[in-house]
Structure 1
Amino acid sequence: MSQSDLIGLAGILVGLGVLIALAFRGWSVLLLAPIAAVIAALFAREPLLAHWTQTFMGSAAGFFAQFFPLFLLGALFGKLMEDSGSVTAIADFMSRKLGPRRVILAVVLGGAIVTYGGVSLFVAFFVIAPMAQNLFRSAGIPRRLMPAAIMLGTATFTMSAMPGTPSIQNTIPMPFFGTTPFAAPGLGAIASVIMLAFGLWWLQRQEAKAKAMGEGFGRGALPSAVMLADAESLRERATTAHEFDPAEILHGEQARTQPSFAAAAAPIVVVILVNLAMSLYVLPRVDLSFLARPEWGGVTPSAVSGVWAVIVALTAAIVTALALNVRRIPDLRATMDAGVNAAALPVISVASLVGFGAVVAALPAFAVVRDAVLGIGGGPLVSLAVATNVLAALTGSASGGLTIALDALGPTFMERAALIGMDPALLHRVAVISSGTLDSLPHNGAVVTLLAVCGSNHGEAYKDVFIVAIVGALIALAVVVALGTFVGSF
């Protein structure tokens, strides 16, 4: 390795260090990402302004153009489901049906249903946490287990493994690999079962141990939504992690009455069915050859059809939610405004992380990193899993780490997969599951937000979050990589 490569690698590490350290302290990534990119370019003696305005902004703008519709529709749908009382109605239904003896299962499944149906993670946090507190207190289950139970239901298998999930993480690989939200459905289902079963086993084990030691719910109440939403440092961390700005939780007005369970669940059913129909039946039969013309970007249908399927599904769900709840929502305009505003900061924040990754990937020293990653034994699946895990861990963002990895290495992985006849759907599923493992380290915005919403701290509750969100996901990832390597995609 040459001296210039060593200096360039040092610049990349210094830039990452500045980004991670200050982001964890609540500094805005909108400021930190370009600063970190300029630091890396400075060490490499590359043109600073050119990397900022051309490399950084070009990549950030590309991410924004490609995925802003999904951030917009996802945030709007989540806010409509919150203010209409639909998320609360679904959570209450699950708690009534499962009863006081299966409190943890009720919380996990309640979170899983709403997030698999397209409701934003942070909306689910703010709605499910009060329900979980009441259930845990009545059952005498320690409150320190609340964050892990909510995390298991909202931010593990429904985010990265369930076939067809409309999460932004499951959408990002589609333009790179020409896949659909239902890529490798069998492997995704297996991974989902592993994450859910392992997480429930651990939480029920911890519940039994706590009861045997006489540990009850404990003291304390949930912090107010006003206090949480006004915490700027918490907001800055949260908006790089998922697609909803928690400050908008306060805006709009919630319905005074809940819809029936059927009315509450209908938009979620619409998301799933329309997504399935568009992905597997409608778009494959539509003539999209016009996309090859220059005025449409000269893209292949496979590069956009997956994103289009999710856009149509979320739009249909929004129309359904409005049709069923338009008279129930007290201030429809305020709710709609809050929903669309909630998408702005998250999409720009993640785009800034992507811009930083583009600058790093353009530096000469990055070739050393690329060769090291691609030189990992075990084939392209192992290399892809390691690269995505590391980048998601460093950025504290599943979507940011995933996009940086695919921007830098996606074409190379596609070439290697083509040489051995590997289905791109397998790359898709491994990449998405990998993005949802080490992203849940202590500095992750979703983790920090969830602990705050539950009135807990890292010392009390993070161990169980680590087990269900990271260990369980890593086990599922290892199984998927092994099956994909020896059996292929299914």
Structure 2
Amino acid sequence: MDVAVILLTLVGLMYFAYRGVSVLILAPILAMAAALLTSDFPFLYALSNVFMPAAANYIKLYFPIFIAGAIFGKLMGASGAARALSRFIIQHLGTKHAILSVVLATALLTYGGVSLFVVVFAMYPIGAATFRAAGIPKRLLPAAITLGAFTFTMTALPGTPQYLNTMPTIPFGTTIYAAPALGLLAGTMMLVLGILWIKYRAQKAMAAGENYGDHDESDKDLDDNSATPGVFMALVPILLVFVINFALTNFYFKSPAVIAEYETLDTRINGTWPVIIALAVAIVFMLVSYRRYLFDTNKHVFDGSVGSLLPIFNTASEVGYGAVITALSAFVIIKAGIAAIDIPDLFKVALTSTSLAGIIGSSSGGTGMVLALLGNDFLNTGINPEVLHRVVLLAAGGLDTLPHCGAVITLLAVCRLTHRQSYGDIAVVTMAIPLMAAFTVIVVHLSTGLV
């Protein structure tokens, strides 16, 4: 019966999130409901002594990376730097390679550290204009944007500064470059298969006489000609993030003197620190160099700061819910059931991660929950922590884009399209192909030991 209560609250989380109820409200209510129905401990104890400490600890660990990433993304968008880079790539690849252009431009921004939501708003007008010029059905544009933003640059490519890639660094003691060979393998699969799928769909539609389509785009979004930094200047912040992050991760924080200094403080080096420092330096560079493009600097920094709050509080709320579920006696039965499945442990990691991400409709929420619920158990299996890091993220990037996913809903709203028009192709490039890549990575690692 108690196991059914846990499953019921998970289904409730998915259903009500799809109906638009905020996770900030849902997670604590459902956590208290689980405690009340199982009678393991008082529901107010669950809120104050289990849920809140877990949520607060998550915010303590990850708030700096969330706020730095949000401000960086806001400044890249507000200054026009993101638009300049994407427009440059698209113009030089041309309408003949319209799909590839949109995917690569989106991927550059995402891998450069621009937040996913900023990328969506930056890429829509340019991608729409490119698809319109090439005669490609607009309904395929969301798939192209999600392929570049929600897949290989978010979960697979080693070194991506997206906050999702920093989450396992603390519990697993890894860096954002964890399992580079496996990450590159998965990333290549996602990019190549995703491009081939969208091109196939476009060619099939165009052969049937379908073109861009008749869409209401009377506003000025598609013709934004406001001043932007030059391409090189627009690229500098991204290069700064790459270079500083790489140097700090692979040299400074690996030097014996630095390691010894933190050991004397009875702590270990935090895998998010290099990313935070790199983003901070890039932010300062933009504030100084982009002054003529940032007409209200204080407002942009404020908006970026505030924009970081909802994502981190949503995820922290989900982690708090996970902590309550973990504390229930029925969870021992669930863990035993997972452990009893006769498959390699890495497949259990992937199955748990993608299931939780699918229920919540969020890769970061799923990752946060799986790290809170089973992170230590997975480490105790003896699996290489770097492989764990990468597999958890690859799997979380699978079912996270079910129809109730907030990022998908936002993207479709920005593109002025519906689930019926575009979701099928989004599902292929953000769920089917990433899960195939995760499965391949696990098989390759188990067969060869590749990391």
TM norm structure 2: 0.96
The alignment partner of 1:456 has SS state of: coil
Q: 2:268 aligns with which of 300, 304, 308?
A: 300
- Structure 1 segment 14-33 matched on structure 2, within 5 A: 14-33=8-27
Name 1:161's counterpart in structure 2. 156
Q: 2:72 aligns with which of 73, 77, 89?
A: 77
Q: Structure 1 counterpart of 2:388, which letter?
A: L
Q: Structure 2 counterpart of 1:35, which letter?
A: I
For residue 211 of structure 1, report the CA deviation from its aligned partner: 1.2
Gaps of 5+ in 2: none
For the 8 Å contact 1:10–1:43, the answer to whether it is kept is no
Name 2:408's counterpart in structure 1. 447
Q: Structure 1 counterpart of 2:126, which letter?
A: M
2: CA distance between counterparts of 1:373 and 1:13?
A: 14
2: CA distance between counterparts of 1:348 and 1:377?
A: 37
Would the alpha carbon gap of residues 255 and 283 (structure 1) be closer, same or farther in structure 2, given more than 3 Å must change? Answer: farther
For the 8 Å contact 1:85–1:255, the answer to whether it is kept is no
Would the alpha carbon gap of residues 225 and 370 (structure 1) be closer, same or farther in structure 2, given more than 3 Å must change? Answer: farther
Would the alpha carbon gap of residues 144 and 256 (structure 1) be closer, same or farther in structure 2, given more than 3 Å must change? Answer: closer
2: CA distance between counterparts of 1:170 and 1:38?
A: 30
Would the alpha carbon gap of residues 340 and 397 (structure 1) be closer, same or farther in structure 2, given more than 3 Å must change? Answer: same
CA-to-aligned-CA distance 1:127-147 (integer Å, 9 cap, x gap): 101111111111111111010
Would the alpha carbon gap of residues 140 and 225 (structure 1) be closer, same or farther in structure 2, given more than 3 Å must change? Answer: closer
1: CA distance between counterparts of 2:387 and 2:444?
A: 10
- Structure 1 segment 6-155 matched on structure 2, within 5 A: 6=1, 8-45=2-39, 46-155=41-150
Name 1:232's counterpart in structure 2. none
Please say which of residues 176-185 and 271-280 is displaced more in the overlay: 271-280
For residue 255 of structure 1, report the CA deviation from its aligned partner: 9.9
Q: 2:418 aligns with which of 439, 445, 457?
A: 457
For the 8 Å contact 1:423–1:488, the answer to whether it is kept is no
Name 1:238's counterpart in structure 2. none
Q: Structure 2 counterpart of 1:282, which letter?
A: Y
Name 1:267's counterpart in structure 2. 237
2: CA distance between counterparts of 1:312 and 1:460?
A: 42
For the 8 Å contact 2:103–2:147, the answer to whether it is kept is yes
Q: 1:280 aligns with which of 250, 263, 276?
A: 250
The alignment partner of 1:216 has SS state of: coil
Aligned pair 1:361/2:361, yes or no?
no
Q: Structure 2 counterpart of 1:54, which letter?
A: N
Q: Structure 2 counterpart of 1:125, which letter?
A: V
CA-to-aligned-CA distance 1:186-234 (integer Å, 9 cap, x gap): 11011110000000000010111011100011111359799xxxxxxxx
The alignment partner of 1:416 has SS state of: coil
2: CA distance between counterparts of 1:358 and 1:224?
A: 46
For residue 377 of structure 1, report the CA deviation from its aligned partner: 2.8
For residue 378 of structure 1, report the CA deviation from its aligned partner: 2.9
1: CA distance between counterparts of 2:107 and 2:359?
A: 26
Please say which of residues 173-182 and 323-332 is displaced more in the overlay: 323-332
1: CA distance between counterparts of 2:430 and 2:346?
A: 21
Q: Structure 2 counterpart of 1:77, which letter?
A: F
Would the alpha carbon gap of residues 311 and 222 (structure 1) be closer, same or farther in structure 2, given more than 3 Å must change? Answer: farther
Aligned pair 1:213/2:208, yes or no?
yes
For the 8 Å contact 2:13–2:359, the answer to whether it is kept is no
CA-to-aligned-CA distance 1:12-42 (integer Å, 9 cap, x gap): 1222233222221211211111110011111
The alignment partner of 1:129 has SS state of: helix
For the 8 Å contact 2:84–2:231, the answer to whether it is kept is yes
CA-to-aligned-CA distance 1:402-444 (integer Å, 9 cap, x gap): 1111111111111111xxxx42111111111111111011111
For the 8 Å contact 1:72–1:340, the answer to whether it is kept is yes
Gaps of 5+ in 1: 1-5, 227-253
Q: Structure 1 counterpart of 2:359, which letter?
A: L
Runs of 4+ residues over 6 Å off in structure 1: 223-226
For the 8 Å contact 2:142–2:412, the answer to whether it is kept is yes
Q: Structure 2 counterpart of 1:157, which letter?
A: F
Name 1:333's counterpart in structure 2. 298
Name 2:376's counterpart in structure 1. 411
2: CA distance between counterparts of 1:28 and 1:211?
A: 40
TM norm structure 1: 0.88
CA-to-aligned-CA distance 1:256-306 (integer Å, 9 cap, x gap): 41111101111111111111111111101142445456xx6x4333xx1x1
The alignment partner of 1:287 has SS state of: helix
Name 2:433's counterpart in structure 1. 472
For residue 346 of structure 1, report the CA deviation from its aligned partner: 1.4
For the 8 Å contact 2:252–2:258, the answer to whether it is kept is no
Q: Structure 1 counterpart of 2:254, which letter?
A: P
For the 8 Å contact 1:191–1:477, the answer to whether it is kept is yes
For residue 316 of structure 1, report the CA deviation from its aligned partner: 1.7
2: CA distance between counterparts of 1:91 and 1:80?
A: 15
Q: Structure 2 counterpart of 1:330, which letter?
A: F
The alignment partner of 2:20 has SS state of: coil
2: CA distance between counterparts of 1:169 and 1:208?
A: 34
Count of aligned positions: 447
Name 1:192's counterpart in structure 2. 187
Q: 1:388 aligns with which of 353, 370, 376?
A: 353
2: CA distance between counterparts of 1:284 and 1:375?
A: 39
For the 8 Å contact 2:174–2:385, the answer to whether it is kept is yes
Q: Structure 1 counterpart of 2:11, which letter?
A: G
The alignment partner of 2:178 has SS state of: coil
Would the alpha carbon gap of residues 225 and 98 (structure 1) be closer, same or farther in structure 2, given more than 3 Å must change? Answer: closer
1: CA distance between counterparts of 2:126 and 2:171?
A: 39
Q: Structure 1 counterpart of 2:228, which letter?
A: Q
For the 8 Å contact 1:255–1:330, the answer to whether it is kept is no
Percent same amino acid among aligned pairs? 40
